[in-house]
Structure 1
Amino acid sequence: MKMIKIILSAVLSFCACMVQAQPLIVKADKPAATIRPTMWGIFFEDINLAADGGLYAELVKNRSFEFFNPLMGWAIQQATPATGSILVTNRLETDSANPRYIRVTRNTTTGKFGLTNEGFRGMGIKQNEQYNFTVWAKNETGSITLHVQLIDSTGKVLGESQSITISGNDWKQYKTSFAAGATELKAKLNVWFEGQGVADFDMISLFPQHTWKERPNGLRADLVQLLADMKPGFIRFPGGCIVEGRDLANRYQWKKTVGPVEERKVIVNRWNTEFAHRQTPDYFQSFGLGFYEYFQLAEDIGASPLPILNCGMACQFNSAEVVDTTQLHPYIQDALDLIEFANGDVSTKWGHLRAAMGHPAPFNLKLMGVGNEQWGPQYVERYKIFTKAIKSKYPDIELVNSTGPDPDGEKFDFLNDTLRALHADILDEHYYRPASWFQNNAGRYDNYDRNGPKIFAGEYAAHSVSTVSPLNKNNWLCALSEAAFMTGLERNADVVIMTSYAPLFAHVDGWQWTPDLIWFNNLYSYGTPDYYVQQLFACNKGTNVVPVTSNNEALKGKDSLYASAVTDAAANELILKIVNASAGTVSKQISIDSKKKLSAKAMVITLQNNDPDAVNSIESPQNVSPQTSEADVKGRRLNIILSPYSFTVIRIKMQ
């Protein structure tokens, strides 16, 4: 028996060596599917303080006093109750978008009186940065002046403005700027009112000077840079479930997010109380980051815009409220008007507004989503109506359509079959699943109909514990499993034309959902291991898929290996992507079948960690990050060592 075990062990070891000895064959002269520029993109949703408190650089929370509690985020500071008072006033009949303002009364010229704003889990303040303060105000009686201070957690003044005197009985905007003398993660803003009299105030705002591209009302530069560094092919906005709203009254309406920021209507964020384990009662949407800014961001980072619009259905996990199909006209008109806003001539109503906001040239919108994660016959009914109306006026717009919240099951099968029969343009598939699911489904699209609708892998992430669990982590095993799955997406680029991880952003002190691609606090940000996987695919996209096989089979999990290959016509390069999802080192010979001369050196980019549970953090942002080296190419072969738990990108020049 002992001898049999020894012999069996030897045979197994020999077989294992034979498996590892099988070379990878890359047929670099056999281009197959063309890879669309939109292949690897990003999905933005205002969850986890992604917009206000995140990408949108405004530092003041509840700047226009429109939260359910009008003074939420503010604290009154006064020497004695007799010093003065603050009255919240509502002018709903004359200003439905921004009805509330505060009336400040100072009864005496002595004693401190003012407001302190806490920011979004504090305010991130940088030493020597210039801060721009603005406020809308009008004087009623007497003479009121104000000045502002930034203070640290102990009350120490970090920076202070000069005084502003409020004059005149008409609303106008006042501005001042000042520099900060120190860096502080969780600063606060003091607004001091002085003098004696009565004045009205609204839209109290503070921005750093150095926003992305130095734009007033701009975006946080480090967060946009992380997006730009991914070189995304598209950006989907304004999100997923946030498009639907918990009910239709709270749905996302793009027309209320454009025009002057002081005229954009604040609403509660649907993630405000969604999860009992992470309730966020102070989570609202100011829409300072609105549809114009989304289009502008897409243009800035070289991404195609992909707006998603409500189709007359609220979130089916919440209220499941729908608009009767006879009442869909306003929703359809919103879709048609959005195309005009993005692409229309400046002589049109909505094209004129785009020009007035600073962008006379069109945004070249080519894609639009109808609904988010809807399902059932009621979605199909609305899909038909929307598609007919949009295609009749704008036949070249490609429409993205829902296949529900899951990648399989009754809801998915119904929509997949029905929308294929209706010849839909693009089907949006979502998968939040364990890491093992991603490894096991690398061949998901190998047998999809090549003549049917194209696929948008619109929301995906490997979850380390379970969906919606607050214990999920962006660990290396999850990211590596996503990389394995993505080799299958790339191999099937004739079917899968767009993909995006979700969600995109999360504030370390204000998240509701995890895992997320990019994490940040008020000062710093970092990409997760998942971020670097996405970045490596997007920055090594190529133009055409080419076959890469071992023993005449695609590598999609055998011996825990996964691979895909592309050529880049512009760079004259062959690009291989290989995942070793095992705990062992693997030696592979790569044989390249090509008539072109190959460079003697290959660039090798490796993302690796021996600990599958490894994560990045604010303190260790590069714990799992790409490392670059070289490998020798001898003739048409190279030998590569694939480290345990590794994702390797190999670039070879072809002349």
Structure 2
Amino acid sequence: MWKRMITAGLMCIFYLLAIAQSKLIVQADKPVAKIQPTMWGIFFEDINFGADGGLYAELIKNRSFEFTKPLMGWKVLKGNNENVLILNRSKETPKNPRFAEIKIGADQKPIGIENEGFRGMGVKQGVGYTFSVEAKMSQGGPGIIHGQLIGSDKKALGSVSISVKGANWQSYKADFVCASTDEKAHFVVWFEGAGTYNVDMLSLFPHDTWKNRPGGLRKDLVQLLADMKPGFIRFPGGCIVEGRNLANRYQWKNTVGPTNQRQVIMNRWNTEFAHKQTPDYFQSFGLGFYEYFQLAEDIGAEALPIINCGMACQFNSAETVDTTDLGSYVQDALDLIEFANGSVQTKWGRLRAKLGHPAPFNLKMMGIGNENWGPQYITRLKIFTTAIKKQYPNIEFVNSSGTDPSGERFDYLNTRLRKMHADIIDEHYYRNPAWFLANARRYDDYPRDGSKIFAGEYAAQSDKIASPDNKNNWQCALSEAAFMTGLERNAAVVKMASYAPLLAHVDAWQWTPDLIWFNNLHAYGTPNYYVQKLFSTNKGTEVVPITLNSESIAGQDSLYATACLDQTAHELILKLVNVSKDQKHHEIDLKGIKRANDIISLTILQNSNLQTCNSLQQPEAIVPVNKNMNEKGNTLNLDLAPYSFTVVHIALK
């Protein structure tokens, strides 16, 4: 009998100890760090047809015949090379030298040129489209240019006609309404009437762009970004900032002003990967720096432009400008700040106003270089920092820590940048899911003062870096959620974070994984997208401690957690990630708060199969689910589903 009583007593003690050890403690009255409004943002790079063929809504590819092969994307109909020539006027217009010349004899039938679009053209029934062209009749005329939208079934979906006359260049445009929805349409331009036609900047835009701006952005893609409520948008990349060589680098001044004066260049992802050669990948810069700033303003995000520091990609050519010739690069950076913030009396502020935005964009930060490393980077960074801080002392700089989160390159840069009192250090991590789980404590011991951290590019790799077999599966997204609890918990150190890359066309990608996938008509968010969105839209204003056995929760019993107050919404927000295959029950003790009501709001992202992915066919295989539960008092009992990310909202008085 005594043995049974002792055994029962021990079991009771063990049970109580187990309960105590599984209890989570939230000390909501002891905030430890402010969460910056820029904490969660988005990283944009023109990769995977992210700009032309993606965010930029232009439907005609190679509209100005400036690709390496001038007629790439075009096919001549009912004619030959004697009828259709590409001429060059480099002295007259060096940034857009080429145009097409079409000759039609007196008794000759119409000649056409057909454009294939960006893996076809996605068009919608009932939507208006604008066909525009710059044209003149160098001989004969007047002539007629017909624009005809053709569906994948070869049926006409809409057409317009333009009368062209005069020997001087003029801009023409006409509108029509599409008769049917088609993902793989194409566009034919017919020339009717004897004479010699000169044409350039042939363009086709939908009317239903973001904010209905003529020549604007694809609405559904921007909406997915706006729905994230990002704190910042980094642009234009990424490796395209560096270029394969310096001639191929991104130069912001070539991306502002009239679109026919934005110099087309080859996209550096054109030939980067043997598994995805993309010879038709160029940059029209229709989406340029003005449009980037405008987009940031539209979606309520801070702009974070990245500029070239006089170094090309060190994996490609490692071409570097001598420091004695760095002046023009530094001046480009100074001029960019003037473009963003200068008064309309300044040269670049006046251009901004002319483009339609007299008010400053209020730029606060800028990146100097991208993934550059070594002493040569530090030398150039010092030159930029000294020159820009002298004129604009309040601009914060994002500085590169190289390509990897550890190793000799990282250690060298991290040490040198901290000695320079760098504002923000940009760290990148493309690693497997296990790395993300193991590094949820990465910033626990970073110094609280001094340089802040920008987790500038990260994504869990289901296979390996740059592998075409990487998937945006739930295992990767869940591991990122676990890692992000560590970023948020260390908001005293981590100022900004963004997943990368952002966009990918299903028929024209070079790199996986990616946050948002799309075809010519539809787009969907990956599980990773919903993880990012849940963190960004549930950001809070201050981190508060949440502990298990007096320790931050970063892997104990397969659990990762963070807690924050939202002083604006008067809420306590908990984020809980269960990476186990088993359901976990946890009691949560809420200290230092007075609840406004008994309702607890839950948002749950969950799937029992770690290999599950969203797709165009199943875009909602994994999406957040909302539900409420009632529980009184300051002790909560939560059951966390297997392989789940749960956001808890508790209203406060």
Q: TM-score of the superposition, structure 1-length normalised?
A: 0.96
Contact residue 25 and residue 590 of structure 2 kept, 8 A? yes
Q: State the Cα distance separating 1:21 from its structure 2 match.
A: 5.7
Contact residue 375 and residue 402 of structure 1 kept, 8 A? yes
Distance 1:39 1:319, change over 3 A: same
Cα deviations across residues 133-189 of structure 1 (Å, max 9, x unaligned)? 11001111222211111111231111111x211111111110001011111111000
Find the residue that maps to 1:537 and give its secondary structure. helix
Contact residue 598 and residue 636 of structure 1 kept, 8 A? no
Residue 127 of structure 2 corresponds to: 129
Provide the rounded CA distance (Å) in 2 between the counterparts of 1:453 and 1:81: 62
Task: Give the letter aligned to residue 630 of structure 1.
Answer: N
Find the residue that maps to 2:194 and give its secondary structure. strand
The gaps in structure 2 that reach 5 residues or longer are: 1-6
Residue 155 of structure 1 corresponds to: 154
Provide the rounded CA distance (Å) in 1 between the counterparts of 2:286 and 2:511: 23
Find the residue that maps to 2:615 and give its secondary structure. coil
Contact residue 21 and residue 549 of structure 2 kept, 8 A? no
Contact residue 129 and residue 175 of structure 2 kept, 8 A? yes
Residue 259 of structure 2 corresponds to: 261
Contact residue 21 and residue 589 of structure 1 kept, 8 A? no
Contact residue 465 and residue 472 of structure 1 kept, 8 A? yes
Provide the rounded CA distance (Å) in 2 between the counterparts of 1:153 and 1:222: 22
Residue 102 of structure 1 corresponds to: 100
Task: Give the letter aligned to residue 302 of structure 2.
Answer: S
Residue 202 of structure 1 corresponds to: 200
Provide the rounded CA distance (Å) in 2 between the counterparts of 1:118 and 1:380: 46
Task: Give the letter aligned to residue 105 of structure 1.
Answer: K
Provide the rounded CA distance (Å) in 1 between the counterparts of 2:572 and 2:24: 14
- Identify the range of structure 1 (593-602 vs 223-232) with the bigger mean alpha-carbon deviation: 593-602
Contact residue 476 and residue 530 of structure 1 kept, 8 A? yes
Instruction: Give the 5 Å matches for 1:132-147.
Output: 132-143=130-141, 144-147=143-146
Residue 4 of structure 2 corresponds to: none
Contact residue 31 and residue 544 of structure 1 kept, 8 A? yes
Find the residue that maps to 1:634 and give its secondary structure. coil
Contact residue 145 and residue 194 of structure 1 kept, 8 A? yes
Residue 173 of structure 1 corresponds to: 171
Q: State the Cα distance separating 1:110 from its structure 2 match.
A: 4.6
- Select the residue among 535, 541, 550 that pairs with 2:539: 541
Instruction: Give the 5 Å matches for 1:288-303.
Output: 288-303=286-301
Provide the rounded CA distance (Å) in 2 between the counterparts of 1:505 and 1:215: 21
Provide the rounded CA distance (Å) in 1 between the counterparts of 2:517 and 2:18: 43
Any runs of at least 4 consecutive aligned residues in structure 1 with deviations exceeding 3 A, and if so which? 14-17
Residue 314 of structure 2 corresponds to: 316
- Select the residue among 491, 494, 500 that pairs with 1:493: 491
The gaps in structure 1 that reach 5 residues or longer are: 1-6
Task: Give yes or no for the alignment of 1:43 onto 2:70.
Answer: no
Task: Give the letter aligned to residue 30 of structure 1.
Answer: K
Contact residue 430 and residue 461 of structure 2 kept, 8 A? yes
Contact residue 608 and residue 646 of structure 1 kept, 8 A? yes
Distance 1:165 1:548, change over 3 A: same
Residue 23 of structure 2 corresponds to: 23
Residue 3 of structure 2 corresponds to: none
Provide the rounded CA distance (Å) in 2 between the counterparts of 1:604 and 1:310: 44
Find the residue that maps to 2:297 and give its secondary structure. helix
Cα deviations across residues 599-636 of structure 1 (Å, max 9, x unaligned)? 20011000000000000001111110000001223211
Q: TM-score of the superposition, structure 2-length normalised?
A: 0.97
Provide the rounded CA distance (Å) in 1 between the counterparts of 2:20 and 2:609: 23
Residue 627 of structure 2 corresponds to: 629
Distance 1:631 1:317, change over 3 A: same
Cα deviations across residues 521-548 of structure 1 (Å, max 9, x unaligned)? 0000000000000000000000000000
Instruction: Give the 5 Å matches for 1:41-440.
Output: 41-78=41-78, 85-143=83-141, 144-161=143-160, 163-440=161-438
Provide the rounded CA distance (Å) in 2 between the counterparts of 1:623 and 1:244: 37
Contact residue 56 and residue 220 of structure 1 kept, 8 A? yes
Provide the rounded CA distance (Å) in 2 between the counterparts of 1:19 and 1:382: 57
Find the residue that maps to 1:262 and give its secondary structure. helix
Residue 550 of structure 1 corresponds to: 548
Distance 1:95 1:81, change over 3 A: closer
Task: Give the letter aligned to residue 146 of structure 1.
Answer: I
Task: Give the letter aligned to residue 438 of structure 2.
Answer: N
Provide the rounded CA distance (Å) in 1 between the counterparts of 2:630 and 2:308: 53
Contact residue 65 and residue 101 of structure 1 kept, 8 A? yes
Residue 4 of structure 1 corresponds to: none
Provide the rounded CA distance (Å) in 1 between the counterparts of 2:272 and 2:139: 45
Q: State the Cα distance separating 1:507 from its structure 2 match.
A: 0.2
Contact residue 405 and residue 429 of structure 2 kept, 8 A? yes
Aligned positions, number: 643
Provide the rounded CA distance (Å) in 1 between the counterparts of 2:628 and 2:289: 44
Provide the rounded CA distance (Å) in 1 between the counterparts of 2:121 and 2:234: 28
- Select the residue among 463, 485, 509 that pairs with 2:507: 509
Cα deviations across residues 121-144 of structure 1 (Å, max 9, x unaligned)? 000011111011110011112222
Provide the rounded CA distance (Å) in 2 between the counterparts of 1:513 and 1:21: 44
Residue 3 of structure 1 corresponds to: none
RMSD of aligned residue pairs (Cα, Å): 1.6
Contact residue 632 and residue 638 of structure 1 kept, 8 A? no
Contact residue 110 and residue 193 of structure 2 kept, 8 A? no
